[in-house]
Amino acid sequence: MQCPQCGTNNAEPAAACVSCGRPLPAYRRPETAVVTDEPGEDGRDSLAPAPPGGPESARIARLVREAAQGNPHPARTLPAGRDREEDDILRDFLALLFDINRKVNEQSKETDKEALAALYTARSFLSPETMGRATRAVRELFQINRRVAAEMRIALDGVKGRIEGAQWSEGEKTLFWREFRQGFAAQFRLRSELFETQEMWARATSEVYEFALCHSDELRFEGKTVRASSREVGRQFVGKLKHAKHCREEFRAAAARLHEEQVTLMIQRGVAAPPAS
């Protein structure tokens, strides 16, 4: 199912886009039926929807859905107190994650798609202009994720500040912060991997095109073949080119792992259904 807002392809069925969090049409939330010990009025076993993991899992599932569906401040169902404050902190942070994904999708649309499609091909090495376009396109993608990393740091500082300012005991603050970090540990780790691999990819891309530019009189590109005036120049160029391609694949793998983690989170919290076997 393609998101009408950002164009991301989502596994069907899904209530919200895994990237931007916008609601998706034609979704019916799956229910998990459990048999209770008490029979129904008609003598048959009664059935009730029960999210896996019990009340706490159901609570997190509700917060994910509220954040994903653009409802950061729903009608209050909890009395004022620690539980409601915790809900607000978690919901706001989840909404921020979806907002970050929306920004990434929107900003990525503005990158030089043609240069990225031609990356490392012979035509990308034809002139200083094409080499400059290729380097800028990859750098622009890296800058997008650099801004994301900065926003994540600010968001975490905001969460920590709200916890420290809450009228809770020190033990309650410590426990909530630890559980918060543990709950989002996979997201933090995978986003860090994504940023690191993309930084390596951007650096490697700059190096291969800068090398080609510096040795433009010694390199000639004929289709998929590179001819160099000296074996050493050719060896260095091929080595840098292979390294850049390897870094690109590492970045793609990191992006796929992050996407898979986000999809898993949506499935676990009832915002999307698992794919049919």
What are the b/e assignments for 236-259, b being 16+ CB within 10 Å?
A: ebeebbebbbebbebbeebbeebb
Q: Does the pLDDT value for residue 241 go beyond 50?
A: yes
The set of residues, in sequence order, having a beta carbon less than 8 Å from that of 118 and lying 6+ positions away, is 124, 130, 134
Q: The tokens of 11 are what?
A: 């596994």
Q: Does the pLDDT value for residue 49 go beyond 50?
A: no
- Contact between 228 and 257 under an 8 Å Cβ cutoff? The reply is no
Instruction: Give whole-number Cα distances, 132 to 44, 50, 201, 206, 230, in Å.
Output: 72, 56, 16, 9, 24
Q: Does the pLDDT value for residue 228 go beyond 70?
A: yes
Instruction: List 39's β-bridge partners, or say none.
Output: 45
- Contact between 146 and 203 under an 8 Å Cβ cutoff? The reply is no
- 3-class SS of residue 241: helix
Residue 69: predicted pLDDT:
72
The set of residues, in sequence order, having a beta carbon less than 8 Å from that of 117 and lying 6+ positions away, is none
Q: Does the pLDDT value for residue 61 go beyond 80?
A: no
Residue 73: predicted pLDDT:
56
158-201, pLDDT tens digit by residue? 999 999 999 999 999 999 999 999 888 888 899 999 999 999 99
Q: What residue has token string 């989840």?
A: 94
Q: Does the pLDDT value for residue 50 go beyond 90?
A: no
- 3-class SS of residue 226: strand
Q: Does the pLDDT value for residue 250 go beyond 60?
A: yes
Average of per-residue pLDDT across 235-246: 96
Put simply, whether the predicted model's pTM sits higher than 0.85 gets the answer no
Residue-range domain boundaries for the chain: 1-84, 111-268
**DSSP line for 191-202:** HHHHHHHHHHHH
**DSSP line for 24-92:** -SS------EEEEEEE-TTSSEEEEE--TT-HHHHHHHHHHHHHHTT-SSPPP-S-SSHHHHHHHHHHH
Q: Does the pLDDT value for residue 234 go beyond 60?
A: yes
Q: What is the mean pLDDT of the chain?
A: 80
- 3-class SS of residue 90: helix
